[in-house]
Amino acid sequence: MPQSSYVHGASGIALIGETIGMHFDRIVERFPNHDALVVRHQDIHWTWRELQREVDRLAAGLAALGLKPGERIGIWSPNNAEWVVTQFATAKAGLILVNINPAYRLAELEYALYKSGCTALVTAAQFKSSNYIGMLRDLAPELTTAAPGRLRAEKLPDLRLVISIGAEAHAGVIPFADVAGLGGDAERRQLAELAGMLQFDDPINIQFTSGTTGFPKGATLTHHNILNNGFFLGEGMRFTERDRVCIPVPLYHCFGMVIGNLGCLTHGSAMVFPGEGFDPLATLETVAAERCTALYGVPTMFIAQLEHPEFARFDLSSLRTGMMAGSPCPVEVMRRCVDEMHLGQITIGYGMTETSPASFQSGPEDPLEKRVSTVGRIHPHVEAKVVDAEGRIVPRGSAGELLTRGYLVMLGYWNDPERTAEAIDDAGWMHTGDLATIDDDGYCNIVGRIKDMVIRGGENVYPREIEEFLYRHPKVQDVQVIGVPDPRFGEELCAWVKLRDGQRADPDEIRAFCQGQIAHYKIPRYVKFVDAFPMTVTGKIQKFLMREETIRELGLTEQKTA
């Protein structure tokens, strides 16, 4: 009888049974004088003891403002020290931190604040072209006349307090720097008592998923979810208190605040931030100047660094490990990271916001071929299975939907039991929506999204497979493959191709490269050359937008299905 596609991460290492605040203090006692936080664009270098002082002062200040455990506090800001301090201070105060995408505009901001019922909001004043205070005033004009901390807005009935990051004063808003001075002995005693009352299964974080249809869903995560996931991710990269982790990914996302901050916290490693947002030059400069040992990013970030005209002048020899995740990792890009960036122990991670996020990870000891062609093996204390359309477990090597279960599965979508029930079944399995295979050695390969799978003339085609092949073309820097409607075959393939600088090609050249190498039905009928792909802030390619644009440009018509 063939082996089934079920794996379980048995482990001799126990789960952490503490809240984030309790574990934070424990790490400070172990490594008080080690670097904890480096923020280059703010010229900040704090030890764990110094960071603890900032965190405790802010937590006491939030308590002095009347914020109670279980209330929601949003944060709408790019990467900075204030974000990190807020993350740990809210955990100590028992407040549920609501991560708000810095790219959100009015309608999205209103939805996130209203849906989660935020009582308070910590916000940057502005970032790039976004005037956050201006947008808030558009949404809640009452802010300009309200006393700080006493907002009563018609559209946001729960929001009463706005805290702004930065030196500039704003009507109705409390400066972030002032909050830390508000707490006194009473608040410090209150927090000390609270530390023994908070439970690690309490919700502590709401992250809105960037869904492709409908409104985002608020994945509700606990101390236990994200603290343990950060720990085991760090274990997978062999972190110690001597590691310095460069974090150019956004903090509002699990990659930044869990894999980044909590992976470092649980090992006493230093969190190093190159800037407010990703910039390839700033990232390379930071790795070299701070002698970082680990580097994070989505594939497009690593590509941008490798292709940067000044790449060769940086000494990256301090690098050892890191993580590439967030979207499928091209094999050729992974190889270049190992060969050219000294990332010999780089790992691949796979997961989703709803699972805190990671459920699979490759390891430094894995054969290179496995590290560049799979997302590794199941994480400790986690189960996974691959099932067919009827929910039956498929044999090893067969494709189906990947389901995960364990400590890492969210409590549910905030205030949305219906969509929670659609995602988590009665047996506690989280349905990922990803198509995957698990081989005989337990390595997982993500072959695409269920909704991205293309059915051409009855043949199931996985875009990821074709993308990996086209990366071999010497002129191709990046490529994404989608399905578009076709009256004869139901669907046809379209490849969006980004060429390397200075290169030229035409569709016939790309198709000729495929002839005799991959099956005829996998050769893209359409080839579109582009300078960039539509993507989320976290680097996830938005293939639904690519599909819509291609259909519009080619004058195609959606095919009706029975």
CB 350 within 8 A of CB 233: no
Annotate 189-248 with DSSP letters as a single string: HHHHHHHHH--TTSEEEEEE---SSSS--EEEEEHHHHHHHHHHHHHHTT--TT-EEE--
Task: Please report the pLDDT score of residue 333 as a whole number.
Answer: 86
Task: Please report the pLDDT score of residue 213 as a whole number.
Answer: 44
Statement: residue 555 has pLDDT above 50: yes
Task: Please report the pLDDT score of residue 451 as a whole number.
Answer: 78
CA distances, 120 to each of 96, 161, 250, 530 (Å): 10, 5, 21, 42
Task: Please report the pLDDT score of residue 216 as a whole number.
Answer: 83
Residues 166-178 pLDDT 10s: 988 999 999 999 9
Statement: residue 135 has pLDDT above 90: yes
Residues 502-524 pLDDT 10s: 999 999 999 999 998 887 889 99
Provide the pLDDT confidence category of residue 214 given band limits of 50, 70 and 90.
low
Q: What is the mean pLDDT of residues 463-476?
A: 91
- Token pair in block for residue 93: 């105060």
Residues 298-333 pLDDT 10s: 888 999 999 999 999 999 999 999 999 876 677 788
Q: If DSSP codes are grouped into helix, strand and coil, which group holds residue 137?
A: helix
Q: If DSSP codes are grouped into helix, strand and coil, which group holds residue 164?
A: strand
Q: What is the mean pLDDT of residues 487-491?
A: 83
CATH assignment, 50-208: 3.40.50.980
Instruction: Please state whether the predicted TM-score (pTM) of the whole model is above 0.85.
Output: yes
Provide the pLDDT confidence category of residue 561 given band limits of 50, 70 and 90.
very low
Statement: residue 562 has pLDDT above 50: no
Task: Please report the pLDDT score of residue 488 as a whole number.
Answer: 80
Percent of the chain with pLDDT over 90: 81
Q: Residue 190, class by beta-carbon neighbours within 10 Å (0-12 exposed, 13-18 middle, 19+ buried)?
A: middle
Sketch the domain layout of the chain as residue ranges: 50-208, 454-554
Statement: residue 128 has pLDDT above 90: no
Maximum CA pair distance of the chain?
75
Output phi, psi for 351, to 5 deg: 175, -160
Q: What is the mean pLDDT of residues 335-339?
A: 93
Q: What is the mean pLDDT of residues 181-207?
A: 97
Provide the pLDDT confidence category of residue 47 given band limits of 50, 70 and 90.
very high
Q: What is the mean pLDDT of residues 542-551?
A: 92
Task: Please report the pLDDT score of residue 538 as a whole number.
Answer: 61
Q: What is the mean pLDDT of residues 112-130?
A: 94
Same fold, 50-208 and 454-554: no
Statement: residue 497 has pLDDT above 80: yes
Helical ranges in 270-394 per DSSP H: 280-290, 299-306, 331-340, 368-373
Statement: residue 560 has pLDDT above 70: no
Distance, CA of 346 to CA of 217 (rounded, Å): 31
Residues 261-309 pLDDT 10s: 999 999 999 999 999 999 999 999 999 999 999 999 988 899 999 999 9
Task: Please report the pLDDT score of residue 235 as a whole number.
Answer: 98
Distance, CA of 206 to CA of 73 (rounded, Å): 10
Fold of domain 454-554: GMP Synthetase; Chain A, domain 3 (3.30.300)
Provide the pLDDT confidence category of residue 6 given band limits of 50, 70 and 90.
very high
Residues 402-451 pLDDT 10s: 999 999 999 999 999 999 999 999 999 999 999 999 999 999 998 877 87
